[in-house]
């Protein structure tokens, strides 16, 4: 348990300040320095203990100062100031040892500590200026130390020739010296091992990379080296590439394509340059490649070498070019289509105006014709009936039958003209939309057909209809009238029923009028809403074939639609909708 706790404490001390550093080499040096400081603190404590044991108390002052420096170095490492801590450890103890002989006797073997500090410097400081500065500093300190220790500036003896102290001091110094040299050698071996490992990784990445890679020194692309993929892309061997310029295998029009990007890279404005250009293979064929260029710099920021990576994008570029061509074709086709649409729209607009005018003319003609035909037709009917009354005694049975046929024909013709007149009035502007209570319109139509209801004993069942509905009340009354009358007229049941239902949504009112009549045969369904198209024998059922066509026209006039569902001998249900927004109708 004690060993486990000591090991945990040792790991904490060794890793002080190393956890916040990303650089692995820097982490290694921090751990080595912490290890050396820990060992030094143990030796300082032992030195103080031995000095006290042999009554040589002059050891306490430098040892205690050294211990304070070690603790201060640990603190600086913990807050990320390890470089300052290292310099304190390298300078202050040396200064203490240098001037210590001026005040008290010291052991001659203390000179070895200067050598220890010099060894440690090689581990932690790699810049030549710093190394040179420390070597000069230690040389001056050693001269002053020797002067104070062996010089004749005083009559007193400045060194202690006690054999035990010299041996002990020498042993501690040698331990530190050996440890420093061991750490230095270990650091170099680790660095070399890491370098070999990194070189192996880089070589593997370089050679096996799916991108073509070109390495060259500086910014002049000298001493070029290429990987296998680069060779396969261009067809040139590594020896041939070394003697060539980049422009030698760059397409003529793209030789300066990289310049603006590379200039930004040189100025440090970007981390890497990226551009697309064409290259010429050894067999003179051309291919497109996306090129990435990055620079490696030294500590002063000077470019050491650059690395260029090529990715063959010929297929992608061909597709882009093809897509661009297709887009251009589509633009032309779209322009032609727009022109044709404009022409077609203009023609349709013209046709629509002509059709609108034609419809107006036809409605006007139908209105005038049906209105003006009423009078001569009535006159023909009156004269035929007058002929029958005055000359009935002189006309035989065949003549009377002919007169009857003529009267019936005039009556049917009058009904057809009347229906045509109503049909033509639906689209005319005289009728206007206004809010009405639909229940009142239905009640009025039921009153109109009251004799028919009494005759057939038909029953009408209706929902409560909308009380504030915008419509043309007379025309909508015609729809209800025709559909109700049809439900009663085309019915052979003893108990005739007509059911009226309603519902609504956000856009429409929906109505349904159901009967239990004879139904409509499937082969007649396409003719139901055609004008003058009768579905039944005239002798069996009265009518002129205008009613449902009139209903359809009125419903369309109200922005809705009309349809039905029917079963033979079970009845028919007519559905129709009326728009809630008649402003656009």
pLDDT in tens, 359-398: 565 565 555 555 556 666 666 667 667 766 777 677 777 7
Spatial neighbors of 157 by CB under 8 A, at least 6 apart, are: 105
Give how far Cα 126 sits from Cα of 73, 133, 569, Å. Answer: 19, 12, 110
Q: Are 486 and 547 in contact (CB under 8 A)?
A: yes
The yes-or-no verdict on residue 2 having pLDDT over 60 is: yes
SS3 545: coil
pLDDT tens-digit readout, 128-151: 787 788 888 888 888 887 887 776
Q: Are 226 and 282 in contact (CB under 8 A)?
A: no
- Strands 459-462 and 562-567, by their bridges, are unpaired
φ, ψ at 267 (rounded to 5°): -80, -5
C-alpha 231: how far from chain center:
39
Q: How confident is the model at residue 574 (pLDDT cuts 50, 70, 90)?
A: very high
Q: What is the DSSP letter of 529?
A: T
Q: How many helices (H) and strands (E) does the chain have?
A: 16, 14
Print burial letters for 476-493: b (CB count within 10 Å at least 16), e (below 16).
bbbbbbbbbbbbbbbbee
Least confident of 187-191, 331-335, 438-442, 539-543: 539-543
Q: How much is the pLDDT for 162?
A: 67
Q: What percent of the chain has pLDDT over 90?
A: 9
The yes-or-no verdict on residue 476 having pLDDT over 70 is: yes
Using alpha carbons, select from 116, 109, 112 the residue that is nearest to residue 168.
109
CA–CA separation, 148 and 166 (whole Å): 18
Match 């002189």 to its residue by tokens.
394
Q: How confident is the model at residue 28 (pLDDT cuts 50, 70, 90)?
A: confident
Q: How confident is the model at residue 498 (pLDDT cuts 50, 70, 90)?
A: very high
φ, ψ at 194 (rounded to 5°): -65, -40
Of residues 161 and 85, the one with the higher pLDDT is 85
Q: Where are the alpha helices (DSSP H) in 79-150?
A: 82-99, 112-124, 128-150
Q: How much is the pLDDT for 212?
A: 84
Spatial neighbors of 109 by CB under 8 A, at least 6 apart, are: 166, 169, 170, 173
Q: Are 322 and 310 in contact (CB under 8 A)?
A: no
Packing angle of the helix pair 82-99, 128-150 (nearest 10 deg)? 20
Q: How confident is the model at residue 541 (pLDDT cuts 50, 70, 90)?
A: very low
C-alpha 156: how far from chain center:
88
Q: What is the chain's mean pLDDT, rounded?
A: 77
Using alpha carbons, select from 158, 160, 142 the residue that is nearest to residue 150.
158
Q: How confident is the model at residue 466 (pLDDT cuts 50, 70, 90)?
A: very high
CA–CA separation, 132 and 391 (whole Å): 155
Give how far Cα 520 sits from Cα of 298, 536, 544, 571, 573, Å. Answer: 98, 10, 17, 8, 10
Q: Are 111 and 91 in contact (CB under 8 A)?
A: no
Match 């639906």 to its residue by tokens.
426
Q: Residues, the chain, total?
A: 585
Q: 48-52, 213-217, 492-496 — which one is most confidently predicted on average?
A: 492-496
CA–CA separation, 511 and 503 (whole Å): 7
């Amino acid at each position: 348990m004690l060993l486990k706790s000591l090991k945990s404490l040792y790991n904490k001390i060794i890793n002080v300040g190393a956890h916040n550093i990303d650089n692995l080499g820097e982490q290694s040096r921090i751990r080595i320095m912490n290890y050396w400081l820990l060992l030094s603190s143990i030796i300082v404590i032992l030195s103080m203990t031995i000095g006290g044991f042999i009554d040589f108390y002059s050891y306490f002052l430098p040892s205690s100062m050294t211990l304070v420096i070690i603790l201060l170095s640990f603190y600086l490492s913990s807050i990320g100031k390890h470089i300052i801590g290292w310099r304190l450890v390298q300078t202050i103890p040396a200064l203490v040892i240098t001037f210590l002989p001026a005040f008290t006797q010291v052991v001659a073997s203390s000179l070895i500590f200067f050598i220890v500090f010099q060894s440690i410097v090689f581990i932690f400081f790699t810049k030549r200026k710093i190394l040179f500065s420390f070597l000069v500093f230690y040389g001056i300190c050693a001269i002053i130390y020797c002067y104070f220790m062996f010089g004749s500036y005083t009559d007193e003896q400045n060194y202690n020739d006690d054999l035990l102290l010299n041996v002990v001091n020498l042993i501690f110094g040698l331990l530190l010296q050996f440890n420093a040299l061991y750490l230095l050698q270990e650091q170099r071996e680790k660095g070399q091992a890491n370098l070999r490992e990194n070189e192996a990784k880089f070589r593997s990445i370089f050679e096996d990379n799916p991108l073509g890679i070109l390495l060259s020194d500086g910014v002049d692309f000298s001493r070029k080296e290429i990987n296998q993929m680069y060779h396969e892309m261009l067809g040139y061997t590594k020896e041939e590439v070394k003697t060539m310029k980049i422009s030698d295998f760059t397409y003529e029009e793209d030789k300066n394509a990289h310049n603006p990007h590379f200039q930004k890279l040189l100025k440090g404005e970007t981390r890497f340059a990226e551009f697309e250009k064409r290259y010429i293979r050894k067999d003179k064929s051309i291919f497109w490649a996306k090129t990435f260029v990055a620079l490696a710099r030294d500590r002063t920021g000077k470019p050491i070498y650059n690395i260029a990576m090529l990715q063959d994008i010929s297929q992608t570029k061909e597709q882009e070019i093809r897509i661009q061509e297709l887009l251009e074709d589509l633009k032309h086709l779209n322009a032609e289509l727009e022109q044709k649409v404009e022409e077609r729209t203009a023609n349709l607009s013209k046709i629509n105006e002509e059709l609108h005018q034609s419809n107006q003319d036809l409605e006007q003609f139908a209105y005038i014709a049906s209105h003006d035909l009423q009078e001569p037709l009535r006159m023909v009917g009156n004269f035929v009936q007058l002929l029958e009354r005055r000359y009935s005694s002189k006309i035989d049975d065949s003549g009377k039958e002919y007169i009857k046929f003529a009267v019936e024909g005039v009556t049917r013709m009058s009904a057809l003209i009347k229906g045509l007149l109503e049909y033509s009035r639906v689209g005319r502007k005289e009728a206007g939309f206004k809010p009405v209570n639909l229940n009142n319109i239905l009640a009025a139509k039921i009153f109109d057909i009251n004799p028919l209801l009494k005759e057939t004993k038909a029953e009408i069942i209706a929902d409560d209809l909308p009380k504030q509905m915008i419509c043309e009340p007379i025309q909508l009354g015609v729809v209800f009238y025709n559909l109700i009358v049809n439900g009663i007229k085309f019915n052979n049941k003893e108990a005739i029923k007509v059911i009226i239902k309603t519902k609504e949504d956000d856009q429409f009112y929906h109505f349904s009028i159901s009967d239990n009549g004879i139904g409509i045969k499937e082969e007649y369904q396409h003719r139901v809403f055609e004008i003058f198209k009768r579905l039944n024998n005239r002798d069996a059922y009265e009518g002129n074939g205008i009613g449902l066509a009139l209903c359809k026209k009125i419903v369309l006039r109200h922005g809705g639609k009309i349809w039905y569902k029917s079963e033979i001998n079970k009845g028919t249900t007519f559905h129709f909708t009326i728009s809630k927004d008649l402003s656009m109708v």
